[in-house]
């Protein structure tokens, strides 16, 4: 078929042959990899089956020197493979941490992980040097994976004495290793490492260094205990705006996390340090960077300082809409901080930005009866249609209308009752109809009889139906009629 005198045909044919050979090579590699994987799976399975009783005994918490001796005699690689499911879990159980730390220490695993980290990226010990059998993994040159796993395991165990090695790992040339190290440092939360991380943060935020990655650094520092927060003072008073911003963000994240655990968290000068409180109120709340101001607001709400209210009031009037947004959102967290600011929050219902208005609605609803009444009063008095629509949407989505229907049908008066009548009259007829259909019939009946006892509603009712027929009208008829009443 091949014409040897034609070089083009010959070349094309050679390419065909090469591609065919390449294709078969790819097929062979794919099949080989699958075979290798199956073999490895069988090996792990056999290992787990063999040592399951020993491991189960140890993991049950009972100290068994014989079992530990069996594990100690195992090659390190096999031991790591055996314990891998433990470390690839989301989180080790809190109560077992001390036990696992002791176990890994006793088995020499912590020493092995330390030695890998101490040797650095190029000289990570291959399994052959750590007592592993050749068949164990057979994957030479996987220094990156070994380093990363060692760091991950130390982090999962929260082995605090390992922090200097983990800080050193931040200089690893691989960004992935830096990430894992940051995560581990965050999990450890060793206070000694915090100032070192802060120095790195300054370098990265100022652009003097590219590594470790800023987001990872921020997340790691935010995982530290609130007691470490005073160490952020140099960041908060730094001349560089970006450093201040990053410092404030970290502090905000630490405070938010603490607040999630302690609903009545209060930040005092003793807890944060007087300098930090001063910085927050006198400098960061009026920082040139609006992002910094927005984050500062979220910290100030927790401050037990008489100046905090004034600072928050100013932030609620900030010229940047997202500063107002973050401030009004933050006020939802703490009732005592918000109490003197109800009027200002209510003022945010007239904000030019819809997100601020919506946040104000959410905040007032979360501030208990007093905030809710402020919201209802605004709704009843405000002629602003978009804001009224937003209020209706939020209270319906949060299920507040259910409560209102129940209260109204049980005879509640005051602003709640006026709110319900207003909702029925014009604003929330769709949602109200839907809710009335889903409540028990007796509640529905009580609600409707009360609603239609009001003169105005009765008048509207009569406008759309035959006089004298109201007693004969069924609940279903009234439900159908409700939108018309509102119209």
Partner 1 sequence: MSHIRTLFEDWVTVFNLVVLSYFFLGNGIYTILMLLSLRATWVHQRQLAYQGLDALRVSPVTPPVTIVIPAWNEQDVIVDCVRTALQVDYPQLQVMVVDDGSTDSTLARLVESFGLLEMDGAYHGGLPTAPVQTYYTNPAIPSLLVVSKIRGGKPDALNAGINLCRSPYFCNIDADCLLERDSLLRLMDPVVNCTTQTVVSGGIIRILNGCETRGGRLLKVGLPQTWLERFQVVEYLRSFLFGRTGWHLLGGTLIVSGAFAVFHRETVIEAGGFSHDTVTEDMDLIVQLCQWAADNKRKIRTSFASDPVCWTECPSTLAVLANQRRRWQLGLCQTLWKHSGILFRKKYGIVGMLSFPFHSYVEGVGAVVEFLGYALVPAFIYLGMIPTRLLLVFILLGFVYGGFLSVGAVLLEELTYRRYPRFRDLVTLLIFGLLENLGYRQLVLFYRFQGVMKFLFGSRRWEKVTHVGAIAEGTP
For binding to partner 1 (CB under 8 A), which residues are involved?
A: 1-3, 6, 8-9, 12-13, 15-16, 19-20, 22-23, 26-27, 29-31, 33-34, 37-38, 88, 90-91, 144-145, 148-149, 152, 176, 179-180, 183, 186, 213-216, 218-219, 222, 253, 256-257, 354-355, 358, 386, 389-390, 392-393, 396-399, 402, 427-431, 433-435, 437-438
Q: 465 with 481: CB under 8 angstroms?
A: yes
User: Which tokens in the block code for residue 279?
Assistant: 């910085």
**At closest approach, how far in Å is the CB of 472 from partner 1?**
27
- Minimum Å distance from CB 143 to partner 1? 12
Minimum CB distance to partner 1 smaller for 6 or for 199: 6
Smaller CB distance to partner 1: residue 4 or 264?
4
Q: Closer CB to partner 1, residue 15 or residue 282?
A: 15
Q: Closest approach of Cβ 359 to partner 1, in Å? A: 10
Which of 339, 393, 399 is closest to 370 using CA atoms? 339
Nearest-approach distance from CB 123 to partner 1, in angstroms = 19
For the CB of residue 440, give the shortest distance to partner 1 in the complex, in Å.
15
Phi, psi of 122 (to 5 degrees): -85, -20
For partner 1, the closer of residues 90 and 264 by Cβ is 90
Nearer to partner 1, 31 or 105 (CB): 31
Q: 54 or 394: whose CB is closer to partner 1?
A: 394
Using CA atoms, how far residue 93 sits from 87, 100, 125, 191, in Å, is: 11, 10, 30, 22
Structure tokens at 126: 């291959």
Smallest separation (angstroms) from partner 1 to the CB of 348 = 16
Q: Give the 3-state secondary structure of residue 44.
A: helix
Distances (CA, A) of 400 to 130, 253, 391, 394, 421: 64, 30, 11, 9, 15
Nearest distance, CB of residue 268 and partner 1, angstroms: 23
Indicate the angle between helix axes 385-397 and 429-438, nearest 10 degrees: 20
- The terminus-to-terminus CA distance of the chain in angstroms comes to 88
Angle, nearest 10°, between helix axes 441-451 and 429-438?
Answer: 140
User: Please, which residue, 101 or 427, has the CB nearer to partner 1?
Assistant: 427
CA distance 379 to 419: 8
Do 406 and 375 contact (CB within 8 A), yes or no?
Answer: no
> Is 190 or 424 the residue whose CB approaches partner 1 more closely?
424
Q: Any idea what the Cα angle at residue 208 is, between residues 207 and 211, rounded to 5°? A: 85
From the CB of 422, what's the least distance to partner 1, in Å?
13
Taking alpha carbons only, the member of 357, 351, 386, 391 closest to residue 372 is 391
Q: Is 481 exposed, middle or buried (0-12, 13-18, 19+ CB in 10 A)?
A: middle
Q: Are 393 and 430 in contact (CB under 8 A)?
A: no
CB of 88 or CB of 129, closer to partner 1: 88
* CA distances in angstroms from 200 to 177, 178, 193, 345, 363, listed in the order given: 16, 12, 11, 39, 37
Task: Give the integer Cα–Cα distance in Å for 317 and 328.
Answer: 10
Q: 54 or 148: whose CB is closer to partner 1?
A: 148
Give the nearest distance from C-beta 114 to partner 1 in angstroms. 17
Q: What is the CA radius of gyration of the chain?
A: 34
How far apart (Å, rounded) are the C-alpha atoms in residues 247 and 227?
Answer: 15
Distance CA 269, CA 274 (A): 5
- Give min distance, CB of 107 to partner 1, in A: 20
> Which CB, 16 or 459, lies closer to partner 1?
16
Minimum distance of partner 1 from residue 404's CB (angstroms): 12
Write the DSSP symbol of residue 170: T
Q: Across the strands, what pairs with 303?
A: 267
In the complex, what is the shortest distance from the CB of residue 282 to partner 1, in angstroms, rounded to a whole number?
26
**Looking at beta carbons only, is 362 or 465 nearer to partner 1?**
362
For residues 287 and 61, give the distance between their C-alpha atoms in angstroms, rounded to a whole number: 54
């Amino acid at each position: 078929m091949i014409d040897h005198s034609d070089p083009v045909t010959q070349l094309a044919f050679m390419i065909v042959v090469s591609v065919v050979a390449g294709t078969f090579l790819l097929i062979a590699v794919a099949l080989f990899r699958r075979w290798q994987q199956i073999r490895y799976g069988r090996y792990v399975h056999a290992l787990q089956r063999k040592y399951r009783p020993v491991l189960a005994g140890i993991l049950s918490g009972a100290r068994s020197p014989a079992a530990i001796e069996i594990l100690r005699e195992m090659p390190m690689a096999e031991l790591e493979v055996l314990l891998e499911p433990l470390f690839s879990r989301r989180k080790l159980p809190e109560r077992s941490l001390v036990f696992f730390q002791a176990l890994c220490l006793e088995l020499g695993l912590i020493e092995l992980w330390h030695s890998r980290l101490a040797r650095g990226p190029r000289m990570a010990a291959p399994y052959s040097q750590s007592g592993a059998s050749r068949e164990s993994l057979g994957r030479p040159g996987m220094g990156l994976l070994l380093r990363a796993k060692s760091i991950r395991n130390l982090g999962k165990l929260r082995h605090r004495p390992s922090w200097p090695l983990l800080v050193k790992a931040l200089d690893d040339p691989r960004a992935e290793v830096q990430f894992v190290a940051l995560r581990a440092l965050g999990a450890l939360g060793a206070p000694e490492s915090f100032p070192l991380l802060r120095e790195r943060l300054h370098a990265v935020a100022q652009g003097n260094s590219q590594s470790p990655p800023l987001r990872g650094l921020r997340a790691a520092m935010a995982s530290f205990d609130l007691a470490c927060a005073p160490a952020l003072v140099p960041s908060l008073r730094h001349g560089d705006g970006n450093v201040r911003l990053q410092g404030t963000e970290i502090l905000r994240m630490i405070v938010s996390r603490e607040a999630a655990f302690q609903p009545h968290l209060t930040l005092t000068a003793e807890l944060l340090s007087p300098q930090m409180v001063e910085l927050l109120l006198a400098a960061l709340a009026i920082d040139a960077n609006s992002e910094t101001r927005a984050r500062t607001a979220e910290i100030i709400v927790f401050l037990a300082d008489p100046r905090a209210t004034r600072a928050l009031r100013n932030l609620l009037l900030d010229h940047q809409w997202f500063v107002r947004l973050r401030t009004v959102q933050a006020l939802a967290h703490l009732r005592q901080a918000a109490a003197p600011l109800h009027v200002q929050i209510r003022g945010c219902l007239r904000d030019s930005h819809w997100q601020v208005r919506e946040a104000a609605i959410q905040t007032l609803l979360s501030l208990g009866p007093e905030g809710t009444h402020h919201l209802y009063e605004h709704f009843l008095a405000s002629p602003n249609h978009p804001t009224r629509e937003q209020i209706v949407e939020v209270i319906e989505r949060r299920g507040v209308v259910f409560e209102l229907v129940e209260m109204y049908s049980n005879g509640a008066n005051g602003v709640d009752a006026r709110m319900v009548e207003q909702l029925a009259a014009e604003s929330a007829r769709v949602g109200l109809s839907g809710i009335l259909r889903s409540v028990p019939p007796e509640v529905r009946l009580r609600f409707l009889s009360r609603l239609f006892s009001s003169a105005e509603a009765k008048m509207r009712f009569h406008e759309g139906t035959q006089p004298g027929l109201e007693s004969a009208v069924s609940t279903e008829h009234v439900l159908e009629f409700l939108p018309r009443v509102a119209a």
